[in-house]
């Protein structure tokens, strides 16, 4: 069964994945058996009762109690099995264990923000302890997104103006991919994140040092890292390519026309405003789709990004 499972599905890395997979295989295999059986029966009967001569007359059959009860009761039993199995699994998935480690998730077009108990925020990188239930409390800043980790077999919609939650327990340290599975705009397919599952010890160390690793980094180098770490590069290229937002190449110091005709010089204040209040002024030819980074990036980080932009001439 394991080989079959590996062929059909991504590796199962959470405590609930096996149950989900077992039900999935049960439904698939049962359906396959019925498909093959019914197809063979159709072909066989079409051949057996084919029209042989013009004198052939189809006999009148009104009903057959035995046959009708059989083909009603067998599917009923199968459906009840699937229902019971599915309902137990569903209850298990929506009931978070009490000792779960909580992480706050904020979805924005088009990135995932993860807020930890220490106040540290990571973008597109979720760090969790393995062998311990983790609860995600999720909401969206704009449209509907959906949080999906195929390896854990968990998925839940992330909505504006409402919290949804989801839990999982990773069985061993490793990495898995998070997908957004609700079409949320142009860069929906790039709205990816990685889950890093650590041992409890490694996780504690990571959480303790998270954020302070940047402290003595050179501003330009830090800025370059922040652009990737905060998913700025999902929409802004650094090589002149036009994506959802203007490219960073040659941006610094240039004059840009805004949607209302205003001409703006790209300087410190404009960049700062664009990061914290992206929709205050929109460059002509672009859509107001950028999420605010207020509360995500601090002043030092914004300064570093500015220093990095200066180098992209």
Tell me phi and psi for residue 16, to 5 degrees: -95, -10
Hey, what are 143's tokens? 């449209």
Question: Considering the complex, what minimum distance in angstroms separates the CB of residue 179 from ligand CUA?
Answer: 8
* Among 13-21, 180-188, 230-238, 282-290, the segment contacting ligand CUA (CB under 6 A): 180-188
Q: Which is nearer to ligand CUA, 16 or 190 (CB)?
A: 190
169 binds ligand CUA (CB under 6 A): no
Count interface residues toward ligand CUA (CB under 6 A).
8
Please state the closest distance from residue 231 (CB atom) to ligand CUA, in A: 12
Cα–Cα distance between 41 and 39 in angstroms, integer?
A: 5
CB of 145 to ligand CUA, least distance (A): 3
Q: Find out whether 240 and 303 touch, Cβ atoms under 8 Å.
A: no
Q: Which two tokens stand for residue 218?
A: 């050179």
> What are the residues whose beta carbons fall under 8 Å from the beta carbon of 127, sequence distance 6 or more?
114, 116, 195, 196, 198, 203, 206, 207, 210
The reply on whether position 106 binds ligand CUA by CB under 6 A is no
Of residues 114-153, those binding ligand CUA (CB under 6 A): 145
Closest CA to 21 of 5, 40, 43, 41: 5
Shortest separation between residue 110's beta carbon and ligand CUA, angstroms: 6
Q: At what angle do helices 268-276 and 299-311 cross, to 10 degrees?
A: 120
> Are 121 and 105 contacting, i.e. CB atoms less than 8 angstroms apart?
no
For ligand CUA, give the closer residue by CB, 13 or 145: 145
What's the closest the beta carbon of residue 309 comes to ligand CUA, in angstroms? 26
Binding ligand CUA by CB under 6 A: which of 103, 130, 170, 184? 184
| Helices (H) then strands (E): counts for the chain | 7, 12
188 touches ligand CUA (CB under 6 A):
yes
Decide if residue 180 touches ligand CUA (CB under 6 A).
Answer: yes
| Min separation Cβ 109 and ligand CUA, Å | 6
CA 158, CA 105: separation in Å to the nearest integer?
A: 9
Task: Round to whole Å and give the CA distance between 309 and 250.
Answer: 8
The nearer residue to ligand CUA, 126 or 306, going by C-beta atoms, is 126
SS3 category, 203: helix
- What radius of gyration, in Å, describes the C-alpha atoms of the chain? 28
How far apart CA 25 and CA 183 sit, in angstroms, is 28
Does residue 155 interact with ligand CUA by CB under 6 A? Answer: no
Q: Shortest approach of ligand CUA to residue 127 CB, angstroms? A: 21
Span 271-310, contacts to ligand CUA by CB under 6 A: none
Is the CB of 144 or the CB of 264 nearer to ligand CUA? 144
Q: How far is the CB of 235 from ligand CUA (least distance, A)?
A: 13
Q: Which residues bind ligand CUA (CB under 6 A)?
A: 110, 145, 180, 182-184, 188, 191
């Amino acid at each position: 069964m394991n080989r079959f499972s590996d062929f059909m599905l991504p590796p199962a890395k959470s405590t609930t994945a096996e149950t989900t997979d077992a039900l999935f295989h049960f439904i698939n295999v049962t359906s396959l058996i019925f498909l093959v059986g019914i197809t063979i029966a159709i072909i066989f009967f079409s051949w057996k009762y084919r029209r042989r001569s013009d004198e052939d007359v189809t006999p009148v059959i009104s009903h057959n109690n035995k046959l009708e009860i059989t083909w009603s009761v067998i599917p009923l039993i199968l459906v009840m099995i699937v229902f019971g199995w599915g309902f137990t699994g569903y209850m298990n998935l929506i009931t978070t264990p009490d000792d779960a480690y909580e992480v706050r998730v904020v979805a924005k077009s088009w990135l995932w923000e993860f807020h930890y108990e220490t106040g540290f925020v990571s973008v597109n990188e979720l760090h969790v302890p393995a062998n311990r239930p983790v609860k995600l409390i999720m909401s969206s800043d704009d449209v509907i997104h959906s949080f999906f980790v195929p390896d854990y077999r968990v998925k839940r919609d992330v909505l504006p103006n409402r919290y949804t939650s989801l839990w999982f327990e990773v069985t061993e340290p490793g990495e898995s991919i998070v997908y957004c599975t609700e079409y949320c705009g142009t860069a929906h397919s790039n709205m990816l994140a990685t889950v890093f599952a650590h041992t409890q010890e490694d996780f504690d160390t990571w959480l303790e040092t998270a954020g302070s690793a940047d402290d003595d980094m050179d501003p330009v180098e830090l800025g370059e890292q922040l652009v990737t770490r905060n998913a700025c590069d999902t929409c802004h290229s650094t090589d002149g390519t036009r994506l959802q937002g203007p490219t960073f190449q040659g941006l610094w110091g240039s004059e840009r026309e805004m949607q209302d005709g205003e001409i703006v010089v790209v300087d410190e204040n404009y960049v700062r405003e664009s990061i914290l209040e992206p929709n205050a002024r929109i460059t002509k030819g672009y859509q107001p789709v950028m999420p605010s980074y207020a509360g995500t990036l601090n002043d030092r980080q914004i300064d570093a990004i500015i220093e990095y932009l200066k180098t992209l001439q």
